[in-house]
């Protein structure tokens, strides 16, 4: 039996690589005899770099950057010298999981550290940079990132403003005179499968800011701030990023990258699964195991796990899909040859499930292994 294990990450609990390894360990501990290949996947959030390093010959680079609140941390990204390519997760520097819950506040957080990672990659002569936009702690429209590469955001007195959510509404002018000249010689791609635009009811502030610690009052201030930034971008760059699908990803980071880096927004899942050659691997396997922390309508609207299900469906391969919460899809959206399993084996608070994610995935996978062993004998 050939099994492909290709999960996404379990948010704030396990990376995609950790999930894949725990599934593998659980299957083997059941006594199952199988050829198991682990291929962690992502759609632009945490796990993007590991997915690329699994598929291509490259190395992990560590650099000192600012975290979302300005403290210094070490962040890693992938570099592939043969292609002069860097793959960056903006969440490695600007991610939600880097901040304790009691300190989460998108008015105060910044993507400056993500910009520092970009500068480090440019110093290493990278000519193409893929930036995974997901799992961020920020709603700064990428102004922090832009500041790190030389842009200046000025208030009405000409004073430079730090790139933070609270300052978006105060920006009067974008100064491009000191930007890093290497930006123009580099191709930038933002990888995300978030479809949300920058503004409005389905925009960066109203949909994502509450997840990052924003109160209703903060949400409205951030909405006004992003609207102000969009007006200034239209004036300076002659583009309306608010109309671009996906521009609201990571608190407007994706839209800001379009303006400040001349980046293109592309499907993170497509980019990653193509590089992993996952379709070929699934075609030649007997069974697929995938999953992510919460499997819901958003999962089934085009995220990486959904694309795995579609490939498996194409080649008529049976799938087990694991998640912390599968209640929204278990009784609906039924798909042929797909079984949904929750790894949460009893009633528990979300915080407990996140803390014990490793054991829960292992134990569920052990039970899955027993089922597969029985099927193999049947």
* Predicted pLDDT at 338: 86
Distances (CA, A) of 24 to 40, 222, 278: 12, 43, 18
The pLDDT, as a whole number, for residue 241 is 97
Cα gap 53→36, rounded to integer Å? 19
* Full pLDDT tens readout for the chain, 378 residues: 999 999 998 887 888 889 999 999 999 999 999 999 999 988 787 888 988 988 889 999 999 999 999 999 999 999 999 999 999 999 999 999 999 999 999 999 999 999 999 999 999 999 999 999 988 999 999 999 999 999 999 999 999 999 999 999 999 999 999 999 999 999 999 999 888 999 999 999 999 999 999 999 999 999 999 999 999 999 999 999 999 999 999 999 999 999 999 999 999 888 988 888 899 999 999 999 999 988 777 676 667 888 899 999 999 999 999 988 887 665 555 566 888 888 998 888 888 988 999 999 999 999 999 999 988 776
Domains and CATH numbers, the chain: 2-40+278-377 (3.40.50.10350), 48-266 (3.90.1510.10)
Q: What is the pLDDT of residue 336?
A: 65
> pLDDT tens digit string along 313-371?
999 999 999 988 887 665 555 566 888 888 998 888 888 988 999 999 999 999 999 99
Predicted TM-score (pTM) of this structure: 0.86
Q: Name residues whose C-beta falls within 8 Å of residue 344's C-beta, 6 or more positions apart in sequence.
A: 324, 325, 353, 360
Strand bridging mode 338-342 / 59-66: unpaired
Give the per-residue pLDDT at 334.
56
53-69 burial, b for 16+ CB within 10 Å, e for fewer? bbbeebeebebebbbbb
pLDDT attached to residue 64: 98
């Amino acid at each position: 039996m050939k099994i492909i294990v290709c999960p996404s990450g379990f948010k704030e609990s396990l990376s995609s690589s950790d999930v894949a390894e725990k599934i593998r360990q659980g299957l083997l501990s059941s006594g199952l005899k199988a050829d198991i290949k682990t291929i962690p996947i992502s759609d632009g959030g945490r796990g993007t770099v590991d997915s690329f390093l699994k598929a291509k010959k490259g190395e992990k680079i560590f650099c000192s950057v600012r975290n979302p609140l300005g403290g210094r941390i070490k962040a890693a990204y992938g570099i592939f010298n043969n292609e002069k390519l860097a793959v960056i997760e903006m969440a490695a520097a600007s991610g939600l999981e880097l901040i304790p819950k009691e300190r989460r506040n998108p008015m105060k957080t910044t993507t400056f550290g993500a910009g520092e990672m970009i500068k480090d990659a440019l110093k290493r002569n990278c000519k193409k940079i893929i930036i995974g936009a997901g799992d961020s702690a920020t709603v700064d429209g990428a102004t922090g990132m832009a500041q790190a590469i030389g842009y200046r955001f000025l208030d009405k007195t000409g004073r430079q403003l730090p790139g933070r959510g609270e300052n978006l509404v105060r920006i009067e002018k974008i100064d491009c005179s000191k930007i890093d000249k290497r930006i123009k010689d580099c191709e930038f791609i933002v990888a995300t499968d978030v479809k949300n635009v920058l503004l409005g009811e389905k925009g960066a502030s109203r949909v994502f800011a509450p997840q990052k610690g924003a109160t209703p009052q903060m949400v409205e201030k951030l909405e006004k701030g992003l609207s102000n930034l969009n007006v200034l971008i239209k004036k300076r760059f002659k583009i309306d990023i608010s109309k671009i699908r996906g521009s609201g990803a990571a608190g407007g980071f994706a839209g800001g990258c379009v303006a400040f880096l001349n980046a293109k927004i592309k499907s993170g899942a497509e980019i990653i699964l193509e590089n992993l050659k996952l379709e070929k691997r699934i075609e030649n396997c007997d069974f697929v195991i995938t999953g992510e922390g919460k499997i819901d309508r958003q999962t089934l609207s085009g995220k990486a796990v959904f694309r795995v299900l579609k490939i498996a469906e194409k080649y008529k391969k049976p799938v087990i899909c694991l998640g912390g919460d599968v209640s929204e899809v278990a009784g609906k959206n039924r798909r042929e040859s797909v079984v949904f399993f929750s790894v949460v084996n009893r009633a528990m608070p979300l915080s407990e499930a996140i803390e014990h994610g490793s054991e829960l995935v292992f134990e569920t996978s052990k039970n899955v292994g027993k089922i597969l062993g029985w099927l193999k004998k049947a």
